[in-house]
């Protein structure tokens, strides 16, 4: 019976480490060509989950892009857009 609590603690500790390091993972930074000759690339300055497109667009404009939007299903990120 003593193994069950130890296993639970170890499991949640590893799960916590996985979640904590997931934000530090490197994302793809090469531009992706979209339709209508618009290229998009992940923002280099926006931090955290992207939930408000307006804030993403402001970050992208400060990086020299025309606009930006939140994208992604499970982990929304800020993507900057400009003409290709």
- Give the pLDDT mean for 23-33: 53
Instruction: Pick left, alpha or beta for residue 52 (phi over 0 → left; psi -120 to 50 → alpha; otherwise beta).
Output: beta
Grouping H, G, I as helix, E, B as strand and the rest as coil, residue 78 is: strand
Phi and psi (nearest 5°) for 83? -65, 145
Give the CATH number, domain containing residue 17: 3.30.30.10
pLDDT, position 72: 87
Residue-range definition of the domain harbouring residue 14:
3-83
Residue 21 CB coordination number (10 Å): 9
Domain count, the chain: 1
Q: Which two tokens stand for residue 63?
A: 């990086």
pLDDT at 62: 97
- Per residue in 48-66, pLDDT (tens digit) is 999 999 999 999 999 999 9
pLDDT tens, residue by residue, 37-52? 889 999 999 999 999 9
pLDDT at 4: 66
């Amino acid at each position: 019976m003593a193994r069950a609590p130890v296993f639970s603690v170890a499991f949640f500790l590893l799960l916590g480490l996985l979640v904590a390091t997931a934000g530090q993972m490197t994302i793809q930074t090469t531009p992706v060509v979209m339709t209508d000759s618009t290229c998009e690339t992940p923002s280099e300055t926006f931090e955290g989950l992207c939930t408000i497109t307006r804030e993403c667009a402001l970050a992208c404009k400060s990086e020299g892009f025309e606009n930006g939007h939140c994208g992604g299903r499970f982990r929304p990120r800020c993507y900057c857009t400009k003409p290709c």
